[in-house]
Amino acid sequence: MNLKHQLQNPIFSVVSKAADLLNYDVFVIGGFVRDLILDRKQPTDIDFVCIGSGIELAQKVNEILGQEAKVQVFKNFGTAMLKHKNLELEFVGARKESYRLESRKPIVENGTLEDDQNRRDFTINALAIQLNKNVFGELIDPFNGLKDIENKILRTPLDPHKTYSDDPLRMMRAIRFSCQLNFKIEENSLNAIAQNANRLAIISQERITDELNKIILSNHPSKGFKLMFNTKLLHQFFPKMVELQGVDIIENKSHKDNFYHTLQVLDNISQHSNDLWLRWSAILHDIAKPDTKRYDVKQGWTFHGHEFLGSKMVPQIFKSLKLPLNEKMKYVQKLVRLHLRPIVLAKEMVTDSAIRRLLFDAGEDIDDLMTLCDADITSKNPLKVKRFLDNFKLVRQKIKDVEERDQIRNMQLPINGEEIISLFNLKPSKEVGLLKSAIKEAILDGKIKNNKNEALEFLIKKATQLGLQLKKQNT
The answer to whether residues 253 and 300 touch, using CB atoms and an 8 Å cutoff, is: yes
Does 145 lie in the same domain as 10? yes
Q: What is the pLDDT of residues 39-93, one digit of tens each?
A: 988 788 999 999 999 999 999 999 999 887 789 998 877 899 999 988 999 999 9
- State whether 119 and 22 are in the same domain: yes
* Burial class for 30, CB neighbours closer than 10 Å (0-12, 13-18, 19+): buried
Residue with the bigger pLDDT between 132 and 446: it is: 132
Q: Are 392 and 346 in contact (CB under 8 A)?
A: yes
CB 120 within 8 A of CB 155: no
The answer to whether residue 18 is domain-embedded is: yes
Radius of gyration, CA atoms only, the chain: 30
- Dist. CA 100–CA 91, nearest whole Å: 25
3-state DSSP percent of the chain in helix, strand and coil, to 5? 55, 10, 30
233 domain residue, yes or no: yes
- pLDDT tens figures, 93-146: 988 665 566 665 656 667 788 888 888 999 999 999 999 999 999 999 999 999
What is the mean predicted confidence (pLDDT) over 140-162? 95
Spatial distance between the Cα atoms of 286 and 289, rounded to a whole number of angstroms: 6
334 found inside a domain:
no
Q: Which residues neighbour 352 within 8 Å (Cβ) at sequence distance 6 or greater?
A: 398, 402, 406, 446
Q: Best-predicted range by mean pLDDT among 118-122, 251-255, 309-313, 439-443?
A: 309-313
Tell me, yes or no, whether 62 and 123 share the same domain.
Answer: yes
Q: Does residue 345 lie in a domain region? A: no
Asked whether residue 17 falls in the same domain as residue 136, the answer is: yes
Mean pLDDT of 267-289: 97
* Residue 455 domain-assigned (yes or no): yes
Pairing status of strand 300-302 against strand 26-29: unpaired
CA distance 143 to 163: 14
Secondary structure of residue 409 in the 3-state scheme:
coil
- Higher-pLDDT residue of 44, 169: 169
Closest residue by Cα to residue 419 from 359, 463, 373, 353:
463
Residues 122 and 164 in one domain: no
pLDDT over threshold 90, residue 389: no
User: What pLDDT, on the 0 to 100 scale, is given for residue 475?
Assistant: 41
**Residue 442 contacts residue 461 (beta carbons within 8 Å):** no
Percent of the chain with pLDDT over 70: 95
Residues 138 and 162 in one domain: no
Residues 41 and 101 in one domain: yes
Pairing, β 253-254 against β 294-296: unpaired
Q: What integer pLDDT is reported at residue 455 of this predicted model? A: 86
- Which of 188, 222, 237 terminates a domain? The answer is 237
pLDDT in the model for residue 178: 97
DSSP secondary structure string for all residues of 205-224: HHHHHHHHHHHHTSS-HHHH
Q: Is residue 28's pLDDT more than 90?
A: yes
242 pLDDT above the threshold of 90: yes
Confirm whether 348 is domain-assigned: no
Whether residues 75 and 122 share a domain: the answer is yes
Which class for 187: exposed (0-12), middle (13-18), buried (19 or more C-beta within 10 A)?
exposed
Residues 23 and 134 in one domain: yes
Q: 128: domain CATH number?
A: 3.30.460.10
Structural domain including 119 reads 4-151
Task: Report the percent of the chain where pLDDT is more than 90.
Answer: 60
3-state secondary structure of 289: helix
Domain end (from 151, 185, 202): 151
Verify that 61 and 139 share a domain, yes or no.
yes
Number of domains in the chain: 3
In this structure, is residue 446 part of a structural domain?
yes
Same domain, 166 and 225: yes
The CATH number of whichever domain residue 219 belongs to comes to 1.10.110.30
From CA 238, how far away is CA 145, in angstroms rounded? 33
Residues in the chain: 475
Give CA–CA dist 446/254, Å, rounded.
42
Q: According to the model, what pLDDT value does residue 353 have?
A: 85
Residue 474 pLDDT class (50, 70, 90 cuts): very low
Same structural domain, 107 and 207: no
- In a domain? residue 167: yes
- Among 151, 176, 201, where does a domain finish? 151
